[in-house]
C-alpha cells in the first residue's frame, strides 16, 4: 500500500509540475504576444508620422488625430511592452560590483530586484487604477483636438500591473527554487553570501533611516546602494522615489503622484522620438547596411596611413548619424571591422579603439540621449541636434588625425590604395543607406518636420532600405519589433523611474539649495567646472549614460546660469562626457560590444580605447573653452 501511495504521490507531483510548467508557458506566450503587439503598434505610429508629414507639408492639410493617437499608443506601448523585458530579464543594471560576488549572492540580489520591481509596479498600477476610476467618475477627457475619455488611456495602468503580477512572482519563484536546490553549497560560499547580504541590509536600513531624518543625504545613499547592488536601474530610481515620498510626505497618500508622473513621461510627444529612432536604428542594424557603409568608408579612406582604421571611424560616424545608439553602432561596425583589421595586421588596441571609440551615437544627432536631455531641460531637440553636429564632426576628425599620426610612426605600410572603379561600386551600393541621415537631419534642419516626425520617417525609410539590401523578411521584421519593444520600454521605464525620483528632488528644493550653496561658497567657477568634469568621469566608470543624465541634470540644470554655461552647450558637453563613459571600464557598453565580437579580455580592449578617451576629454575641454563650436550652426540655421 505504501508503494502505491508513493507512486500516487509521485504521479500527483508530476501532474502538478506539468500543469505549472504549462501555465508558465502560457504566461510567456501571452506576455510575448502583448509585447510584440505593442511593438507593432509603435510601428503604426511611424506610419502615422509619415502620413502626417506628407499631409501637412505636401497637401497643407494636417490631421487632427495623428498627435493624439500617437501619444495614446506611446503610453500603452511602454506599459505593455515592459513586462516582456521583465520576462527576458533585459532590464539595464549596473552589475559591476555584484559580478564579483558568488552565484548565490547574485541570485539573492536578483530576487531583491524583482521584489522592488513588484513594489514599484504595484504602486504605479494601484494608484493608476484609482486615477482611471476617478477619471471615469468625473468624465475627464483629453485636451487635444481629438477628444476622448481619458480613462481609456489610463486602462494601461491596471493592465501592466496585471501582467507584472503574472510575470514577476514567477521570476522570484524561479530564482528561489535555484537557491533552495543549492542550499547545501560549501560553508565558505554561504558565509560570504551572508556577509554580503548582511552588509546590503545594513546599508539599506541606514539609507531609509537617513531618508526619513536627512532626506538629501538619505536619497543619495539609497539610490547608490540599490544601483550598485545590481538592482535594475529603472526600479532603483523608481523605488527610491516612492520610498522618499512615503517616508517624507505622509505615507501612502503621497504616492498618488506616481501615475501623474507616469502620464507626464509616457504621454509626451518629445519622448515619442526615442522608441521610433531606436526602431529605425534596429532595422538598419539588422538589414546589413553596416557592411555596406564599412566597405564604402574603408575603400574611400584606405589610401591614408592606417586607412582601414580611419575608414572604421568614418563608418562609425555614418552609422551614428543613422542609428543614434552608441552600443548598436559599435556592434554593427565591429562585426565587420575587427576581423578585417586584424587580418591586415592592425594592432589589437588600434582595431578595438577605432570601433568602440568611433561609435559616437550618443553625440551624433539623432541621439536618444539628446532627446532625453531636451525633455529634462525643456530645450528644443532640433536646436540640440544642430548644436551637436559640429562637435561630433570635430571628434571624428580628431580620432582620424590620431590614427593617421600613429600609423605614420608605427605602421608606415598599412595603407591600401583602391581603384576608382571599386570606390564607385561601393558608393553606389551605399547610397540608399547614406540617404537616411541626410533625410532625417536635412528634414529637421530644413524645417520640414519635427524630430519626432523625422524618427517616424526614419523607420519607414529604413524598412525600405532593408528590402534593398536583401536583409528583410517577415522573421527578421518580427525580431526587430521584438527587440525594439524590449529596448525602448526599458529606456522609457528608466526615464519614468528617474522622473519619479526627480519629482521628490524638486519637492525638496535640492537644486535650489545646491545653487544657493554654490553662490555662497568662495569657489571659483573654473574649479566648479573642473569638478563637474571629474564627477561625470567618475560616474561614467560605473553607470550608463541614461542613468547619469537622469541623476545629474535635474540638479545641475538650475545652476547653469550661475556657472556661465549655455544650456545647449552643456547638453553637448554632457554627451561628450557620456561617450567617455561608454569606452571606460568597468561598465563601458562599447567595450562589451567589442568584447562580444573579439572574444578578447576586457583589459586589452579597454587599453586600446585610452587614446580615444583622452581625445574625447580634450574635445570636451575645447567645447567649454570655445562654446561657439556648439552655438554657431544653430545660429546659422536660424538665419
pLDDT of residue 414: 66
Burial 613-630 (b: 16+ CB within 10 A, else e): bebbeebbebbbeebebb
Residue 475 and residue 471: Cα distance in Å, rounded?
10
558 Cβ neighbours under 8 A, 6+ residues apart: 511, 512, 514, 515
Which DSSP symbol is given to 304?
A: S
Residue 7 and residue 317: Cα distance in Å, rounded?
66
| Cell numbers representing residue 432 in the block | 540608399
Q: What is the mean pLDDT of residues 402-424?
A: 83
Q: What is the mean pLDDT of residues 581-606?
A: 79
Element (H, E) at 284: helix 273-286
pLDDT of residue 531: 87
Phi, psi of 141 (to 5 degrees): -120, 165
Bridge partners, 497 (sequence order): none
Q: How confident is the model at residue 188 (pLDDT cuts 50, 70, 90)?
A: low
Q: What is the DSSP string of 4-16?
A: HHHHHHHHHHHHH
Is the predicted pLDDT of residue 296 greater than 90, yes or no?
A: no
Round the average pLDDT of the chain to a whole number and report it: 87
User: For 31-48, what is each residue's pLDDT tens digit?
Assistant: 999 999 999 999 999 999
Whether the Cβ atoms of residue 182 and residue 104 lie closer than 8 Å to each other: yes
Lowest mean pLDDT among 198-212, 479-493, 568-582, 592-606: 592-606
Burial of 303 (0-12, 13-18, 19+ CB in 10 A): middle
Q: What is the mean pLDDT of residues 590-605?
A: 78
Whether the Cβ atoms of residue 414 and residue 345 lie closer than 8 Å to each other: yes
Lowest mean pLDDT among 144-148, 250-254, 580-584, 594-598: 594-598
Please tell me whether the peptide bond between 617 and the residue prior to it is cis, using omega within 30 degrees of 0. no
Q: How confident is the model at residue 332 (pLDDT cuts 50, 70, 90)?
A: confident
pLDDT of residue 4: 44
Whether the Cβ atoms of residue 598 and residue 339 lie closer than 8 Å to each other: no
Which DSSP symbol is given to 412?
A: T
Percent of the chain with pLDDT over 90: 44
User: For 476-514, what is each residue's pLDDT tens digit?
Assistant: 899 999 999 998 999 999 999 999 998 898 888 877 777
Answer left, alpha or beta for residue 253, where phi above 0 means left and psi between -120 and 50 means alpha.
Answer: alpha
Whether the Cβ atoms of residue 301 and residue 307 lie closer than 8 Å to each other: yes
Where is pLDDT greater, at 527 or 398? 398
What sections of 214-266 are H helices per DSSP?
Answer: 215-228, 233-248, 257-266
Q: What is the dihedral of CA 324, 325, 331, 337, to 10 degrees?
A: 40
Top mean-pLDDT range of 120-129, 463-472, 536-545: 120-129
Q: How confident is the model at residue 319 (pLDDT cuts 50, 70, 90)?
A: confident
Is the predicted pLDDT of residue 192 greater than 80, yes or no?
A: no
pLDDT of residue 511: 73
What sections of 344-419 are H helices per DSSP?
Answer: 348-356, 368-377, 381-410
Is the predicted pLDDT of residue 409 greater than 70, yes or no?
A: yes
| Cell numbers representing residue 32 in the block | 510575448
Whether the Cβ atoms of residue 391 and residue 630 lie closer than 8 Å to each other: yes
| Cell numbers representing residue 391 in the block | 562637435
Place of cell 497643407: 60
pTM: 0.89
pLDDT of residue 1: 39
Residue 238 and residue 248: Cα distance in Å, rounded?
15
Residue 334 and residue 275: Cα distance in Å, rounded?
24
Amino acid at each position: 500500500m505504501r508503494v502505491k501511495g508513493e507512486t500516487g504521490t509521485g504521479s500527483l507531483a508530476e501532474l502538478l509540475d506539468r500543469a505549472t510548467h504549462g501555465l508558465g508557458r502560457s504566461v510567456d506566450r501571452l506576455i510575448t504576444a502583448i509585447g510584440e503587439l505593442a511593438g507593432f503598434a509603435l510601428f503604426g505610429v511611424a506610419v502615422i508620422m509619415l502620413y502626417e508629414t506628407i499631409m501637412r507639408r505636401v497637401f497643407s492639410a494636417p490631421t487632427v488625430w495623428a498627435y493624439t493617437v500617437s501619444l495614446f499608443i506611446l503610453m500603452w506601448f511602454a506599459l505593455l511592452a515592459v513586462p516582456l523585458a521583465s520576462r527576458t530579464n533585459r532590464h539595464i543594471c549596473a552589475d559591476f560590483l555584484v559580478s564579483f560576488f558568488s552565484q548565490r549572492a547574485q541570485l539573492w540580489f536578483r530576487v531583491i530586484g524583482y521584489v522592488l520591481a513588484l513594489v514599484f509596479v504595484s504602486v504605479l498600477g494601484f494608484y493608476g487604477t484609482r486615477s482611471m476610476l476617478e477619471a471615469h467618475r468625473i468624465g475627464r477627457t483629453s485636451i487635444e483636438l481629438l477628444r476622448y475619455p481619458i480613462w481609456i488611456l489610463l486602462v494601461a495602468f491596471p493592465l501592466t500591473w496585471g501582467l507584472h503580477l503574472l510575470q514577476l512572482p514567477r521570476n522570484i519563484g524561479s530564482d528561489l527554487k535555484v537557491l533552495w536546490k543549492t542550499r547545501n553549497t560549501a560553508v565558505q560560499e554561504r558565509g560570504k553570501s551572508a556577509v554580503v547580504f548582511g552588509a546590503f541590509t545594513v546599508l539599506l536600513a541606514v539609507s531609509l533611516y537617513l531618508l526619513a531624518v536627512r532626506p538629501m543625504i538619505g536619497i543619495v545613499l539609497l539610490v547608490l546602494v540599490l544601483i550598485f547592488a545590481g538592482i535594475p536601474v529603472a526600479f532603483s530610481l523608481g523605488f527610491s522615489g516612492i520610498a522618499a515620498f512615503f517616508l517624507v510626505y505622509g505615507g501612502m497618500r503621497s504616492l498618488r503622484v506616481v501615475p501623474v508622473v507616469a502620464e507626464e513621461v509616457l504621454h509626451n510627444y518629445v519622448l515619442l522620438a526615442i522608441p521610433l529612432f531606436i526602431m529605425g536604428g534596429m532595422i538598419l542594424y539588422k538589414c546589413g547596411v553596416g557592411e555596406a557603409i564599412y566597405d564604402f568608408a574603408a575603400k574611400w579612406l584606405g589610401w591614408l596611413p592606417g586607412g582601414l582604421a580611419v575608414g572604421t571611424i568614418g563608418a562609425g560616424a555614418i552609422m551614428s548619424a543613422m542609428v543614434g545608439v552608441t552600443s548598436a553602432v559599435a556592434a554593427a561596425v565591429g562585426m565587420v571591422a575587427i576581423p578585417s583589421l586584424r587580418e591586415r595586421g592592425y594592432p589589437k588596441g588600434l582595431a578595438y579603439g577605432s570601433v568602440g571609440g568611433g561609435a559616437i551615437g550618443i553625440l551624433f544627432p539623432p541621439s536618444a540621449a539628446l532627446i532625453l536631455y531636451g525633455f529634462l531641460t525643456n530645450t528644443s531637440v532640433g536646436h540640440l541636434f544642430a548644436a551637436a553636429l559640429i562637435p561630433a564632426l570635430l571628434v571624428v576628425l580628431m580620432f582620424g588625425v590620431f590614427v593617421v599620426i600613429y600609423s605614420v610612426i608605427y605602421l608606415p605600410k598599412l595603407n591600401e590604395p583602391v581603384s576608382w572603379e571599386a570606390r564607385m561600386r561601393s558608393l553606389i551600393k551605399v547610397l540608399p543607406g547614406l540617404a537616411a541621415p541626410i533625410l532625417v537631419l536635412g528634414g529637421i534642419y530644413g524645417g520640414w518636420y519635427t524630430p519626432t516626425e523625422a524618427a517616424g520617417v526614419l523607420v519607414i525609410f529604413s524598412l525600405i532600405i532593408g528590402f534593398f539590401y536583401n536583409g528583410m523578411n517577415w522573421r527578421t521584421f518580427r525580431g526587430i519589433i521584438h527587440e525594439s519593444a524590449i529596448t525602448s520600454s526599458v529606456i522609457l521605464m528608466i526615464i519614468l523611474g528617474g522622473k519619479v525620483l526627480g519629482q521628490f528632488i524638486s519637492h525638496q528644493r535640492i537644486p535650489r539649495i545646491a545653487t544657493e550653496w554654490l553662490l555662497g561658497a568662495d569657489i571659483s567657477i573654473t574649479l566648479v567646472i573642473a569638478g563637474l568634469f571629474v564627477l561625470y568621469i567618475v560616474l561614467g566608470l560605473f553607470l550608463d549614460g541614461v542613468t547619469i543624465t537622469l541623476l545629474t541634470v535635474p540638479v545641475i540644470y538650475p545652476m547653469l546660469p550661475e556657472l556661465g554655461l549655455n544650456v545647449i552647450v552643456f547638453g553637448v558637453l554632457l554627451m561628450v562626457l557620456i561617450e567617455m563613459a561608454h569606452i571606460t571600464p568597468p561598465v563601458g557598453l562599447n567595450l562589451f560590444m567589442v568584447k562580444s565580437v573579439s572574444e578578447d579580455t576586457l583589459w586589452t580592449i579597454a587599453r586600446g580605447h585610452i587614446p580615444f578617451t583622452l581625445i574625447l576629454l580634450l574635445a570636451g575641454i575645447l567645447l567649454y573653452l570655445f562654446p561657439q563650436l556648439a552655438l554657431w550652426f544653430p545660429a546659422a540655421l536660424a538665419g
